């Protein structure tokens, strides 16, 4: 009779996720996005927000899209029933920094209007037809436009 594999506790899982994100950010920065700058057909940027509770700067890799001069990200959170932390941080404190390849930009985030949201989600789907923004969730998936600002 074999012994079942030990389960990973939620705290350990969260620590492993944080480590994985930190490693991905470090590789992206080290290689200027040559490693981590794409996930499948989607391009990835590094988004640095300020924590709404902690006040600490947080950086996370996020898929992004460009429709003409509009740069946007989608807060799908892999179809979970809650918003990603970066979206909540941007909602509270919209000034952020992004890195695309080796280029750093200061941006101000704003949520897309309902009309913009429909258009931009359709555009994102046209760029990656396998992308299913809603997944199993019933929440409305926010689209966040990142507008450049002077440093």
pTM for this prediction: 0.85
Whole-angstrom CA distances from 133 to 11, 93, 95, 112, 142 are 27, 24, 25, 15, 10
Which residue ranges make up each domain of the chain? 10-148
**Quick one: residue 40, left, alpha or beta (phi over 0 = left, psi -120 to 50 = alpha)?**
left
Q: pLDDT (tens digit, 9 = 90+) per residue, 68-119?
A: 888 999 998 877 888 999 999 999 999 999 999 999 999 999 999 999 999 9
Q: Which fold has domain 10-148?
A: Pnp Oxidase; Chain A (2.30.110)
């Amino acid at each position: 009779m074999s012994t079942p594999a030990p389960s990973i506790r939620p705290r350990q899982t969260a620590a492993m996720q944080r480590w994985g994100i930190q490693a991905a950010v470090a590789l992206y920065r080290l290689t200027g996005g040559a490693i981590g700058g794409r996930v499948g057909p989607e391009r990835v940027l590094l988004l640095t927000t300020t924590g709404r509770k902690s006040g600490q700067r947080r950086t996370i890799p996020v898929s992004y899209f460009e429709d003409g001069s509009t740069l946007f990200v989608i807060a799908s959170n892999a179809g979970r029933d809650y918003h990603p932390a970066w979206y909540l941080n941007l909602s509270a404190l919209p000034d952020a920094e992004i890195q695309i390849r080796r280029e750093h930009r200061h941006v101000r985030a704003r949520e897309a209007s309902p009309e913009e949201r429909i258009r931009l989600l359709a555009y994102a789907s046209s760029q990656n037809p396998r992308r299913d923004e809603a997944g199993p969730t019933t929440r409305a998936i926010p689209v966040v436009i990142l507008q450049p600002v002077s440093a």
